[in-house]
Amino acid sequence: MDVGFIGLGAMGQVMARNLCKAGHNVTVYNRTRSRAEALLVDGAVVADTPVEACDNEVIVSLLSDDKAVEAVVFGEGGILAALRPDAIHVCMSTISVALAERLTDAHAQADRAYVSAPVFGRPDAAAAGKLFIVAAGDETSIIRCEPIFAVLGQQTFVVGHKPVSANVIKISGNFLIASVIESLSEAFALVRKYEIDPQAYLDLLTSTLFSAPVYKNYGGLIARQAFEPAGFKLPLGLKDVRLALAAGDATDTPLPIASLVRDHLVVAMAKGYEELDWSVLGRIAAQNAGLE
């Protein structure tokens, strides 16, 4: 397929590379041009502007936050006005419910196809093509995107015809991950106070009660205090927890654990940990327990 890929951060660059390797014709754009040019060796075409990446069947956008998505879609030279009549815009960014609804309405008014397809997985999973994709939108559009999803992920979950449904699921999922990180951080602080080896504790937990990858992966980072290089930087984690709280506020859904995790993430930001992985909550819990 002819694919435009906008946004080449830690996730996007390896995802675009996988599409190139799978034989798709990929045009890439990134604000920092060097990240796009790094894909020339893989056969990608580098666009000078987001609009130049729009002359394709499918345009994938994977940007860091609402502000970046709004600028690319609605800003001066935005892609919405440049989409071909037969094109599909696939937004894989983790964005607010409010923006997801605005994007849906705007594409409908412009008579352009729109699919929301955020992903679960860290950069290593993206590089291996092992992401989990949560897709929502018009059924025909999702079917047309399947060759792309098959390259990027190990499984695609279609969750309905309303694109916002995928965003709600992504936000709630990241809230759950943050909650797991927080609870692991507190538990590790407790066992360390009793001079129990963190790695032995992790091996016991993940071999018995908590064998899910999220416990193994984040538990390992906390046990080793391995918060850099960041697979998912602290500010992005804080952004996602704030998205969950905003979604809760919009529907009068209390999320008290999210409020607690948000506060601890803010503490980590105040301590200057913004370049570290969001599992640095483990350091905050240790510090609160007088361990560091």
pLDDT digit of tens for each residue in the chain (292 aa)?
A: 999 999 999 999 999 999 999 999 999 999 999 999 999 999 999 999 999 999 999 999 999 999 999 999 998 889 999 999 999 999 999 999 999 999 999 999 999 999 999 999 999 999 999 999 999 999 999 999 999 999 999 999 999 999 999 999 999 999 999 999 999 999 999 999 999 999 999 999 999 999 999 999 999 999 999 999 999 999 999 999 999 999 999 999 999 999 999 999 999 999 999 999 999 999 999 999 999 8
Q: State the Cα–Cα distance between residues 188 and 201, nearest whole angstrom.
A: 8
The structural domains of the chain, ordered by start, are 2-161 (3.40.50.720), 168-288 (1.10.1040.10)
Per-residue model confidence (pLDDT) at position 75: 86
Per-residue model confidence (pLDDT) at position 200: 98
List the Cα angle 119/231/32 in 5-degree steps.
Answer: 85
Q: State the Cα–Cα distance between residues 188 and 179, nearest whole angstrom.
A: 14
CB contact at 8 A, 8 and 28: yes
Q: State the Cα–Cα distance between residues 48 and 124, nearest whole angstrom.
A: 28
Query: What do you get for the CA distance between the two ends of the chain, in Å?
Result: 52
Catalytic residues: 170
Q: How many of the other CB atoms lie within 10 Å of CB of 290?
A: 8
Per-residue model confidence (pLDDT) at position 285: 98
